[in-house]
Structure 1
Amino acid sequence: MTESSSAQSGTAVVDDASRHMVRVENLHRSYGTGAAAVHALRGVSFEIPRGELVALKGRSGSGKTTLLNLVGGLDTPDQGRITVDGTDLSGLGENGLLELRRDRIGFIFQSFGLIPILSAAENVGVPMRLRKADPREREERVALLLALVGLADHAAQRPGELSGGQQQRVAIARALANRPKLLIADEPTGQLDAETGLAVMELLRAVVRGENVTALVATHDPQLLGLADRVLELADGEIVEA
């Protein structure tokens, strides 16, 4: 390769990293061995540009949660490559993956995942405590995020004192605590009624725009899919629509 072609190649890599928050190439993941093996993902490839809200749809067992876990660095593929924010996950050890999840990725779960004995404000502040943020910075960020999700007046309430929709809003605020570049949400409206679910999805879309983050959201609700910039469909471990 000539010096000029090498430079051009390097520029292409930088440009691609600047355009895409997530890049998935030929991803395979199986569970079990031999005839009993379950092939959760079969050669999945896609890209997510920065600043997009991408919805991931598919029937139960199609591989959605497996894919989210891989992109979020919670699991490793059998084959293939995942790049998040310009970082190849295969080059990271356990400590590197831990830092990636702590500093650059925010997770939102269907079950909310809040700590029952902590107030809404304390739940939101947990990620910042883990990275030992300055207490004043933490308090200011918590107050800002609770206001962002419409819960400024509920800071002192515990999860059991909040509705399902309010609990999910706290979970969204917590996911944003460390200013992540990527939000990963697994059926975030699955336990909510249709009206509340729509409000939460609209909040996620507003967060993507206002906080300048990228989001990959698994959902099966057709009404919610309409709020996404793009929809990816998984069927039997393969992308069938992109």
Structure 2
Amino acid sequence: MRGQPSGHAAAADVREPTGDMVVVEDLRRTYGSGDTAVHALRGVSFTVPRGELVALRGRSGSGKTTVLNLIGGLDAPDGGRITVDGTDLAGLGEDGLLALRRDRIGFVFQSFGLIPVLTAAENIGVPLRLRKVPVREREARVGLLLSLVGLSDHADQRPGELSGGQQQRVAVARALANNPALIIADEPTGQLDADTGLTVMNLLRAVVRSESVTALVATHDTQLLALADRVLELRDGRVVEDA
């Protein structure tokens, strides 16, 4: 059900055919300099096939969040190459990166990131409002997403009236609002108990299938890792296992 997103023309000149949703080649990122420099990534390379849920695991400081931020265009690497949905990120300026994040990538964070004064339905509809989607089309999409995440009966409740698991399901629905090609989730179950976390991870897996999207999820929970199509382990800024 994913259509051609608006804003796509901004990146048209750097698109190239690819069988993978994400291609990362020799990615390097260092913070600071001299004796205090932190080498967050030291030549990371991997691919994420279309339509798969790929998990990143590793201890705190292993480089998981850095990888996700670079792929999502939230930060720039010191070296290497990143291709997302056929677009080389190095060829994009600020406007192109903004269009990429708005139209082709959905983000899910550990902290949920919902707007407290808005209802569940209104939170989900925020990305559609930013793209000026007509009201009738927006309401239909929001209703469909509420049904998809099992929250149709909670549309008018605000985040403070929802459980942690329900808030994260709203966040997942919001990430899907603009029909993204890729979902990036950074420890999406980190604030949830084990059973609720498993429910959210199962939802992400179901979304990958039903919405024909690709998901890259950082998690250290072994129970959740078992649901991934593939697991990449990061250690000291390097990929040490690809299973």
TM-score range, shorter chain: over 0.9
Which residue of the partner structure matches residue 199 of structure 1? Answer: 199
Q: Distance in 2 between matches of 1:35 and 1:215?
A: 36
1:140-188 deviations in Å (ceiling 9; x for gaps): 0000000000000000000000000000000000000000000000000
- After TM superposition, list the pairs within 5 Å mapping 1:230-241 onto structure 2: 230-241=230-241
| Residue 9 of structure 1: aligned partner | none
Aligned AA (1:123): N
Give 1:1-80 correspondences, 5 Å limit.
Answer: 14=17, 17=18, 19-80=19-80
Aligned to 1:213: 213
1:144 corresponding residue in structure 2: 144
Matched with 1:121 is 121
Q: After superposition, what is the alpha-carbon deviation per residue over 1:12-36, rounded to whole angstroms, capped at 9, x for unaligned? A: x63xx1x100000000001001111
CA–CA distance in 1 between the matches of 2:137 and 2:29?
Answer: 40
One-letter code of the match for 1:78? Answer: D
What is the rounded CA distance, in whole Å, between the counterparts of 1:83 and 1:182 in structure 2?
12
> 1:192 is paired with a residue of what secondary structure?
coil
The amino acid of 1:153's aligned partner reads D
Task: Return the TM-score normalized by structure 2.
Answer: 0.93
Taking the aligned partners of 2:221 and 2:210, their CA distance within structure 1 comes to 24
Asked if 1:131 is matched to 2:131, the reply is yes
Please give the alpha-carbon distance, in whole angstroms, between the structure 1 residues aligned to 2:82 and 2:136. Answer: 36
In structure 1, the gaps of 5 or more residues are: 1-12
Structure 2 residues without counterparts, runs of 5 or longer:
1-15
Partner of 1:180: 180
Using the alignment, how far apart are the partners of 2:99 and 2:134 within structure 1?
A: 18
Q: State the SS of the aligned residue for 1:83.
A: strand
Question: Match of 1:207, SS?
Answer: helix
* Map of 1:8 onto structure 2: none
In structure 1, how many angstroms separate the alpha carbons of the residues matched to 2:25 and 2:230? 18
Deviation at 1:46, TM superposition (A): 0.2
Separation in 1, partners of 2:135, 2:60: 42
Given residue 88 of structure 1, which amino acid in structure 2 is its aligned partner?
D
Cα distance between partner residues in 2 of 1:81 and 1:217:
20
Cα drift, residue 116 of structure 1: 0.1
* Range moving further from structure 2, 170-179 or 130-139: 130-139
For the residues of structure 2 that align with 1:198 and 1:117, how far apart are their CA atoms?
28
Show CA shifts across 1:171-229 (max 9, x none): 00000000000000000000000000000000000000000000000000000000000
Q: Distance in 1 between matches of 2:94 and 2:27?
A: 20
Structure 2 Cα separation of the partners of residues 134 and 91 of structure 1: 31
Quick check: which has more Rg, 1 or 2?
A: 1
SS of the counterpart of 1:160? Answer: helix
Report percent identity of matched pairs.
78
Letter in 1 for 2:49: P
Q: Deviations over 1:87-134 (max 9, x none)?
A: 000000000000000000000000000000000000000001111111
Which 4+ stretches in 1 moved above 2 angstroms? none
Residue equivalent to 1:156:
156
TM-score (norm 1): 0.93
Q: Tell me how far apart the structure 2 counterparts of residues 140 and 46 of structure 1 sit (CA, whole Å).
A: 37
